[in-house]
Structure 1
C-alpha cells in the first residue's frame, strides 16, 4: 500500500487544477496506487536568484524556477516563461501538462517548464539579455541536450533562446545547438518552428470542423491572445478561408464582424507592441471576447480564463485550447453538461510547438536539416495520429475528449515508470 504525499511546495490554484485532472484520469484507468504519486508529482525543481545590473546602475534580484516533472521517458522538455505573475506552482502545473502532451503525441520526452518573475516589457534590451544569460548560467548543471531542453514560452522568444544557447555553449566550451529549441534559423533553429504551435492549432480546428460538417469558409473565429501562438493561429485559419472576427491581448480586444485585417493588425503590433487603440474594429474587453457568438473560440493567452462564471455564456461551436490550462475544472463540467460545444483539449490542441521542437532537436543532434514543407508535413502526420488515438479512446470508453487525451498521456508515462522499476 503506497502512502499518498501531499506537496505544499507547489501550492497554487493552477497546480491543484492539474492535480485534479490527473486524479480524474488516474481513476478512469484504474492506475495502481504504487504508481500514482510517482507519475503525478514533479521529479525535481530548482529555484534561483538572478541579480541583474540595471541601466541606472542599480541591481535587481529576480527569482527564477525550473521544474522537471518526468525524466522516465527521455530528457524533459518545456518552455521558459518571463511573466510578472509566474509562481512555482504554475511552473509545476505547466511541466505536468507537458509530460502528458509529449506522451500523447509520442515524443521521447518528459515534461518540464521554467519561469522568471519579471515583466520583460519593463527591461531594456541589455537588461533582458543579462537576465536571460544569468538564468541559463544558473541552470547549466540542471539542463542539457540529453537532460532537459528548454524552449520559448510567454514573454520569451527565439532571440532569448539564442542568448541562452550561447551561454551554455560558452560554459561547456563548444557549440551545443540541441540544448534549446525555438532558436533563430542561423543558430540551428528549425524551419517552421516559429509558426508551429499556431499552425497545429489551425490544422486541428480545420479537421474538427470537417468532422462537424462545417465548411471552414463559413466559420467565424475569435482569438484571445495575439502573441506568437494567437497571431500564427489567426494567419493559418485565415489562410484556410475562415473569418477572424475578434482578437485581443492583455490591453484589450478588437471586434469586427466583417473580418479583421490581420496584416494591418500585425504591422500595428510590430510598432506599438500592443493592440490598444488599433482601429480595425470596435474595442471590446477580453471577457466580452470569450462570450462572442462565433464558430470557433481560441483562448491563446494564459491559463484559467474560462471559469464557472462564463462557461455557460460561451457561444461557440468549437473551443480550441491554444493556451495551456485555459479552462478550469468547474468550467469543464459545465461545458460537458451543455453538450453543444466540441472541445479540443490543450494537450492535443497546442502540441504542434513541442512536436517541431522535437524535430529541431533531432536536426541539431544529427547536423542534418530539413526544409519547411518536410517539417510541416511531418507535423500534420503526427497530429493526425494523435487526434485519431484520442477519438478512439473517447469512443471506446465513452470519455470526454479531455479525459481521453489525458488518460492516453498519463498511461504511457505510468507504463514507462512501471517498466523501468524503482531504483533502490
Structure 2
C-alpha cells in the first residue's frame, strides 16, 4: 500500500522542479514505532494488542494524524496514511507534518471498559513520542471523542499536568472544539461547492451517492441535502439503499441508529414510515449513474478492476486512498474528475488545528465561527488546486500534490540543501 501511495509523487515532478533531497526526504518516514499493548480483559485474561505510530515528516511543524482501531491495521497501512497526512497538512497550509497511528483490533469485540483500558494503554506505550509540540493524535476509523478524552486524561496522569492540546477530537467539555464532529464532512462539502460553482452547476441538479454512512459520510450527506443536493444512495458495511427521488438523510440515520439497518424512511418523532427504495450491494452503489460519487469508507475501493465501469461524472474522496493510482489513470481517460482526499477530507485536520490553537491559547470559539474559518481555508485552498489543474492541464489530484509538495519543498530547502552548502 505504501508503494502505491508513493506513486502519487511521480506525476508531480513532471510539472515542478524540486531538489533531489526533497524527493529523498519524502520517500521515507522519519520515525516508525511498534509497541505491544497489554490489556486485562473483563474475564481476567491478559491480551496483547499491537499498536503503531508513524511520524512521517515534521519539516513544517509537529506531526498530526489520527489513531484507528481496525483488525487490518498494519505498519504498511499506517505509513501510507502518515504520508497522505503529510501532504494533506501542506495542502491545507497548516503548520503541521504528517503522522498516523493505530491498533490491530476489532473494537466491536471489546466491552467499553476493555476499550478504555486499550486506549489508555496506547498512550502509555507512545507517551514518550507524542505531545502538543511533537505529535498530536486525533480520532480516525472506529475511534471517537470519548476515546480521545480517555487518552488525554491518561497523558495528563503520566505528565502530572493538564495538556489538552496533546490530542484533538476531544469532547467539547474536555477541551474539544465546537464543530469538530462534522468538520470532515463540512470541509468536503465546501470543496465540492467551489467545484460546482466553477463548473456552473446548481446543487439542486446534482445527484449524490455516498459510500460509507459512518460519522463522516452521514454528516456530509446531511449537510449536502441541506444545501440542496439530491442524495439518492448511501451505504454501510452491509449494503446500500437507493431512491431516485432522494433520501431523507437524517431520518435514514435515525432509523439506522434504532434498528441497525439502512432503509428509506420518513420519520415523525420516533415513528418512522417506510418509503420505496432499492437495496444494493456496496459494489453496485459504486457503479450508479450519479453526478457525484462520494467515497467515505476505506482504502482501495476503486481499482483497475472496476474503474472502467464507473458512471459518476465526479468522485469526491472523503476516505483516505479510496482510488488506486491505476484506477486514477482509467478515470482520467474517461473524463471523470476526482476531487482528491488530500484536499477534500482536510476539513477534519483543519478543525483539529483550530482545537489545538484554542487549547494552547485558552480562547474558545462558537461553532459558527469555526465553520466560517473552515470555509475560508477550504475555499481558498480548493481554488488554488483547481487553478493549478487548469494551468498545468493535469488532474485535480496531481494539482493538489503540486500544491502540497511545493510547500514541503520550500520548507525542506529553507533548511539548506546540497546546492546551498556546495556554493559556500
Q: TM-score range by the shorter chain?
A: over 0.9
Instruction: Tell me the SS of whatever aligns to 1:51.
Output: strand
2:353 is the alignment partner of 1:349? no
Match of 1:390 in 2: 385
Contact 2:124-2:154 within 8 A present in 1 as well: yes
Match 1:287 to one of 275, 283, 288: 283
Instruction: Tell me the SS of whatever aligns to 1:69.
Output: strand
1:327-342 equivalences in 2 (<5 Å):
327-339=323-335, 341-342=336-337
Match of 2:293 in 1: 297
Match 2:375 to one of 377, 380, 390: 380
Per-residue deviation at 1:16?
Answer: 1.1
Farther-moved stretch of structure 1 (232-241 vs 30-39): 30-39
Distance in 2 of aligned mates of 1:274 and 1:117: 26
The structure-2 alpha-carbon separation of the partners of 1:84 and 1:276, relative to structure 1 and needing over 3 Å to count, comes to: farther
Residue deviations 1:191-235 (CA, integer Å, cap 9, x gap)? 111000001111222221222222111211100001111000000
1:121-200 equivalences in 2 (<5 Å):
121-200=108-187
Structure 1: runs of 5 or more not aligned: 1-13
Match of 2:50 in 1: 63
Contact 1:245-1:259 within 8 A present in 2 as well: yes
1:98-117 equivalences in 2 (<5 Å):
98-117=85-104
Contact 2:318-2:341 within 8 A present in 1 as well: yes
Match of 2:317 in 1: 321
Match of 2:271 in 1: none
Residue deviations 1:251-285 (CA, integer Å, cap 9, x gap)? 11111222222222212332345548996632211
Match 2:215 to one of 205, 228, 239: 228
Contact 1:73-1:109 within 8 A present in 2 as well: yes
Distance in 2 of aligned mates of 1:57 and 1:247: 41
CA RMSD of aligned residues (A): 1.8
The structure-2 alpha-carbon separation of the partners of 1:256 and 1:276, relative to structure 1 and needing over 3 Å to count, comes to: closer
Contact 1:252-1:284 within 8 A present in 2 as well: yes
Contact 1:96-1:111 within 8 A present in 2 as well: yes
Please report the TM-score for the alignment, with normalisation by the length of structure 1.
0.93
Distance in 1 of aligned mates of 2:97 and 2:148: 20
Contact 1:39-1:414 within 8 A present in 2 as well: no
Distance in 2 of aligned mates of 1:224 and 1:137: 35
2:87 is the alignment partner of 1:87? no
Structure 2: runs of 5 or more not aligned: 266-273
Match of 1:7 in 2: none
Contact 2:210-2:221 within 8 A present in 1 as well: yes
Distance in 2 of aligned mates of 1:206 and 1:216: 8
Distance in 2 of aligned mates of 1:382 and 1:263: 27
Please report the TM-score for the alignment, with normalisation by the length of structure 2.
0.93
Instruction: Tell me the SS of whatever aligns to 1:140.
Output: helix
Distance in 2 of aligned mates of 1:353 and 1:34: 30
The structure-2 alpha-carbon separation of the partners of 1:42 and 1:26, relative to structure 1 and needing over 3 Å to count, comes to: farther
Match 1:47 to one of 34, 58, 62: 34
Per-residue deviation at 1:294?
Answer: 0.8
